[in-house]
Amino acid sequence: MAKKPRWMLSAYALSFLLLLPGGVAVAATPQQVLVIINDTSPVSQAVGEMYVRLRKVPNVLHVRCVDSALQQPNETIDFASYRAQIEVPLRAFLNTHPGIDFLVTTKGIPIHLSAAGIGQASSGVTETSLDSYLAALDYDQLPGTVKVRFERDTTGTAWLNRYWNAHVPFTHARFGGYLVTRLDGYTQADAQALITRALAAERKLEPGRILFDVQPEFGLGKRPAQPEAISNPIIQELSLDTWNAEMIQACDDLTKRHIPAEVDLEKRFVSARRDLLGYFSWGSNDSHYSLEAYRSLAFLPGAVGETGVSTSARSFFPQTHGQSMIADLIAQGITGIKGYTDEPLLQAVASPIILLDRFTEGYTLAESYFAASRFVAWTDLVIGDPLACPYRAHH
């Protein structure tokens, strides 16, 4: 066999060249990012243009679709409109701009995608997060992809995430699909603050603590914990004690690395904390949940989190009823958070063990959340600057 030229490296070998000594990931570059701006939405334009300017992103796609920032019904787009107004121009851009790995959607672009043929099935219609659908672009053409079926508790289909539990930097060339995050919140100012917080944390990460508000009434699970294996088809939701066990394990792992973290095992819902660099809780699924307590939390720049709540990203308009909202946490200062447009089952909730391991090792926000998430083309929505990487400077 002829010897390969030294520059002809496999994608696998290249991924290891993208690691610093000690296995710390090299931060992704703005050239790997494509920002999607809805030109019918002044809010989308303002948020997208600010991100492009501050991150010096050269790749911008302008689309025209319903303005989801105007009213809540506009947060849903039907598949035919999505295909014509977003996917067709997106594919055309990607075909002429190789090297894109991250997509950024902006406030003003819908969050719900209806009738895409994949996602949660309800009354004969599938409901999918638009961002999660984009994350699985062309999954159906890749060898080895696995479609998972949900057959009880909730029904539907999703793709198993090819980047799940990966410990190398993400590239579209190696894994397929894209890592998609969103700049959104109740207001334009909330969405834009996600950008400035990420940049502030990269300049200086203030001392803080990562909090795990475990609800012991759900059980504490088995230790040492690790992300539970899932079956296909999925016929029941994971036991709630498995996520409690993961939160406790994640805290132990961080403590061993001298990263300040704490587990709260009291039944009461934690309140009035203002030094948070991370937050993991059951939100309104905690029987002792208090909206006042939830809204009393405050976050330092660089904070990330997750809540075990089924519809925490159902809207970016204030709600008067229903489950707790991740938009509240964005308004309270968090830099990265994951939520769900429709019922995800606990299997879809981000693994705190994986998420915090990657993020505190120096992986980007997008890589950390997607490595910790099992599915794409499901109901997931990741909020924040995909390039946010505040811990890399500490390695």
Q: Could you report the per-residue pLDDT of 269-292, keeping only the tens digit for each?
A: 999 999 999 999 999 999 999 999
- Output the pLDDT for position 25: 53
Mean pLDDT of the chain: 93
Instruction: Tell me the backbone φ, ψ of residue 341, rounded to 5 degrees.
Output: -75, -30
Strand ranges across the sheet with 102-106: 59-63, 33-38, 102-106, 179-183, 380-383, 336-340, 299-307, 276-281, 209-213, 261-264
Instruction: Tell me the backbone φ, ψ of residue 394, rounded to 5 degrees.
Output: -90, 0
Q: Which residues are paired to 388 by β-bridges? A: none
Q: What is the CA radius of gyration of the chain?
A: 20
Q: Could you report the per-residue pLDDT of 304-357, keeping only the tens digit for each?
A: 999 999 999 999 999 999 999 999 999 999 999 999 999 999 999 999 999 999
Domain boundaries, the chain: 31-183, 207-373+384-394
| High-pLDDT (> 70) share of the chain, % | 92
